[in-house]
Amino acid sequence: MKRQQILDAAYTVFSRKGYHRATVDEIIALADTGKGTVYNYFVNKEQLFYTLVKERSSKFEAELNAIASLHELPLSKIKMAIKVFLEFYVANADLWRVLMYEMRGLGHEDSSFTEAQRKKYRERFVHTIGILENILQEGIEQGAIRPCDVHKAAHGLFSVIVMMVFQGFVGEQQDSIETAANSIADIFLYGVAER
């Protein structure tokens, strides 16, 4: 019970402050618990953060996998995937902003996290974006998508989704998400140019 209180509080504080500026003191104040309790459940601040990410990710990753396995048309799958991404990022915008920053994209020298931890995080991203890649690849094979660099294209799509969320262009309501998903899919698939 305390464990969950701590996780909830940590989620809030990490989201608000980022990893570095978040303090254990603030987390325990919000969780209404003692400092030692945090360290009974989590080895350290870093692992507390990781637990948060892991717990929030797993459902999302499962949903995404499910979509990839469906027998649907690629274009339809893409739209579904975009929607699932939006739902997840809308719900976890702040924490994932922090996570993405702390990972530093590539192999950067300094970060709050150990290299081992960073690798774990990166694998999660690579995995989810990889699913987008697979769908695109499938689309190319079926002639629905133009041949292109699916790795970059998937990253592009991903970056747009995340930006829409981070910029607050998408709200929490289902219809807001749906509308956004349609816009994103439309431009991603057909571009902005007039024919």
Partner DNA sequence: CATGAATGAGAGTTCATTCAT
Partner DNA sequence: GATGAATGAACTCTCATTCAT
Helix axes 2-21, 45-69, angle to 10 degrees: 100
Q: Are 112 and 19 in contact (CB under 8 A)?
A: yes
Residue 63 identity (one-letter amino acid): E
Residue 166 interacting entry, from its own copies, DNA, none, C-beta within 5 to 8 Å by type: its own copies
Q: Kindly state whether residue 171 participates in binding DNA, applying the rule CB under 7 A.
A: no
- Span from 1-9, 54-62, 80-88, 184-192 in contact with its own copies (CB under 8 A): 184-192
Q: Which CB atom, from 44 or from 182, has the smaller least distance to DNA?
A: 44
Quickly count: other Cβ atoms within 10 Å of residue 155's Cβ: 15
Task: Note the Cα 64 to chain centre separation in Å.
Answer: 11
Q: Kindly state whether residue 116 participates in binding DNA, applying the rule CB under 7 A.
A: no
Q: Are 60 and 84 in contact (CB under 8 A)?
A: yes
> 150: which 2 tokens?
């699916």
Q: Kindly state whether residue 175 participates in binding its own copies, applying the rule CB under 8 A.
A: no
What is the Cα–Cα distance from 128 to 82, expressed in whole angstroms? 12
Contacts with DNA, 43-62, as mask; x by CB under 7 A = -xxx----------------
Q: Could you list the residues that contact DNA (CB under 7 A)? A: 1-3, 21-25, 33-41, 44-46
Q: Could you list the residues that contact its own copies (CB under 8 A)? A: 16-18, 20-21, 75, 94, 97, 101, 104-106, 108-112, 136, 139, 143-146, 148-149, 152-153, 155-156, 158-160, 162-164, 166-169, 183-184, 187-194
